């Protein structure tokens, strides 16, 4: 399962979501506008930065939109 931590209006989040749409990937989106979600993100990754991808099937977690897009293209392109 792919989980993506996002923030409304974030252009970097939009970039990752657009790549996911292009690749036919759906994400469980968690918006850090919710303080509990923001705290969860900080507990997982150590900082309040989005986008943040969690790929629970491959035990991968990462920040940085360019890194996330490259990862998705490498592992999920059909």
> What CATH number has the domain bearing residue 30?
3.40.30.10
Averaged pLDDT, 7-36: 97
The pTM assigned to this predicted structure is: 0.95
pLDDT score at 3: 98
pLDDT confidence band for 78 (50 / 70 / 90):
confident
pLDDT score at 24: 96
Q: Which residues, 6 or more positions from 67, have their beta carbon under 8 angstroms from its beta carbon?
A: none
Per the structure, how many domains does the chain have? 1
Q: Show the tokens assigned to 57.
A: 């099937």
Q: Show the tokens assigned to 75.
A: 């592992």
Question: Domain of 44?
Answer: 2-76
Task: Give the number of other Cβ atoms within 10 Å of residue 10's Cβ.
Answer: 18
Averaged pLDDT, 51-68: 97
């Amino acid at each position: 399962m792919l989980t993506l931590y996002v923030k409304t209006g974030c252009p970097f989040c939009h970039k990752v979501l657009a790549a996911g749409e292009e690749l036919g990937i759906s994400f469980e989106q968690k918006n850090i506008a919710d303080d509990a979600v923001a705290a969860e993100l900080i507990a997982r990754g150590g900082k309040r930065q989005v986008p943040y991808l969690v790929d629970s099937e491959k035990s991968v977690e990462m920040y940085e939109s360019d890194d996330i897009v490259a990862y998705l293209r490498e592992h999920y392109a059909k």
